[in-house]
Structure 1
Amino acid sequence: MIALSAFAALSQANRLDAFRLLIKAGSDGMAAGEISDALGVKQNTMSASLSVLHQAGLVRNTREGRSIRYFVDMQGLRGLLGFLMEDCCGGNPDLCRPILDDIACC
């Protein structure tokens, strides 16, 4: 199940921190070295963490010369959130509205 891979990927602190940092970076993404510097994590450790997030479908990447830039995979995030909210509130959308309002971008 895809959700289990995503939960496993996010269950480690460095990976969760990197994922949250990439969410904040938005469409600009961040280079792998920038992520490791921002989080104070060794580059080889961060590379392994980003690989796990990529395999779980939570991030995507693109090569820029000798560097790799990472972005949140919005489809993967949407799928995970959809899975979590699938049976929310017994089908009563009014009960889910406060949750959706809390996570919506301003």
Structure 2
Amino acid sequence: MALDFAVLTEDDTSAEIISLGIRQHDILMTLAGQLKLQQLLRFGDYCNEVDFRPSELPALARDLDIVSKSAAPREIVAFARALDGLVTLAIQRHKPLMAIPD
């Protein structure tokens, strides 16, 4: 099982997707709790769907930037950077970012 992060294409026919495994999720949520990264903590329940409206995405990007600059494990920093790229895409497309348990 993975937590998939997705942004629909402009015509809503497909999506750009990146996935986060449960072990990486646990590490990321521990870090988010320590750093009080409220937007990332919204993904705290691995089994619940979470949607970020376009207006909420800049705050999520700030949290991801903090993770990217932290002493987190390399795989977590890489995920934060990849998710930040997806956030940027969502902002450009004026689309929500969805986290979907799969």
TM-score by length of 1: 0.34
More strand by percentage: 2
TM-score by length of 2: 0.34
Larger Rg computed on CA atoms: 1
More helix by percentage: 1
